[in-house]
Amino acid sequence: MVSLTRSVLLSLSVAVVAASPSISFAAAPLIKTQAPGYFRMMLGTFEITAVSDGTLDLPVDTLLSANAKQTRAQLAKSYLGVPLETSFNAYLINTGSKLVLIDTGGGLLFGDQLGKLIKNIEAAGYKASQIDDVLLTHLHSDHVGGLLLDGAIAFPNATVHANRRESDYWLSTERMKTASANSMEFFKAAMSTLGPYIQAGKYQPFDADTMIVPGVMAHAAYGHTAGSTVYTVESKGQELNLIGDLIHVGPVQFEKPEVTIEFDVDRSAAKATRLTVFSQIAKSGQLMGGSHLPFPGLGRLKATSKGYQWLPVDYTTHLN
């Protein structure tokens, strides 16, 4: 019976193909676009939306402090290689009374691979004009570029916040004069993107550990830059630590958190801060979000004998 059915089907399909030469079974064009770049989860009563600004391929083997061969071998353990497609993530926090954006992506400063933040915020159901506060983990160009849209303020109703040490550093024309050619671009990006907000009276720097809005606390995490900040979001005893650039290359730096990256302004301080913050987060069992971890970049840390294991959050539709 089975073989009879098969042979009937086979002869039928041959007949259909023979009778209808114009029918193709693979004519649908490839779509070539990803799902909208947002991921949503609840944290207590707060709604957290991770928003993608895009990805860039980075030659991480030449950027990390480990030698290139070691880095490539470490990546191979995770079936990855170079260049490594790297996420650029931002986070929207709706506390119920405030809509807060943590970091803004690269805007137009990195070509058309980045600059997808606003489109993805809209896909996620929000508008840039609804955002009350923009909190910057630091002022590197891939975090401040999205402050501007078509050269104008992208978040017209928001106050922008960063650690005072951070803006004092990157907005200093004196310091820029002595900067290397590479870091010159970081100074220019910080000045050009933050400038319109400062002129409009919409930039409010803070000092070290401060509650910026109820439920969102800034903690000093210096090293990657002079005023790098970890934002701890807390609701009903649940915590999410948004660590910015305390880590760039998960498959290398979780297992070997002592490895630093070229973009660290003070490498030894960056390493010490990563070790301290990772240890605290792993002990607490609370959530962490990283700007350059694979989107949505949300998960937990588990201490291992050498370093850490990254446990990404599960997909969820529990949003009540």
Residues lying near Zn ion in the complex (CB under 5 A) are found at: 142, 245
For Zn ion, the closer of residues 161 and 292 by Cβ is 292
Radius of gyration of the chain from its Cα atoms, rounded to whole angstroms: 23
For Zn ion, the closer of residues 116 and 234 by Cβ is 116
85 phi/psi in degrees, rounded to 5: -65, 120
For Zn ion, the closer of residues 142 and 234 by Cβ is 142
Report the nearest approach of Zn ion to the CB of residue 184 (Å). Answer: 17
Q: Which of 84, 99, 97 is nearest to 134 (CA)?
A: 99
Q: CB of 116 within 8 A of CB of 79?
A: no
Amino acid 253 reads Q
For Zn ion, the closer of residues 105 and 251 by Cβ is 105
Report the nearest approach of Zn ion to the CB of residue 313 (Å). Answer: 21
Q: CB of 106 within 8 A of CB of 53?
A: yes
Report the nearest approach of Zn ion to the CB of residue 33 (Å). Answer: 24
Collapsing DSSP to helix, strand or coil, 9 comes out as helix
Report the nearest approach of Zn ion to the CB of residue 134 (Å). Answer: 16
Report the nearest approach of Zn ion to the CB of residue 317 (Å). Answer: 30
Secondary structure letter of residue 119 according to DSSP: H
Collapsing DSSP to helix, strand or coil, 103 comes out as coil
For Zn ion, the closer of residues 133 and 245 by Cβ is 245
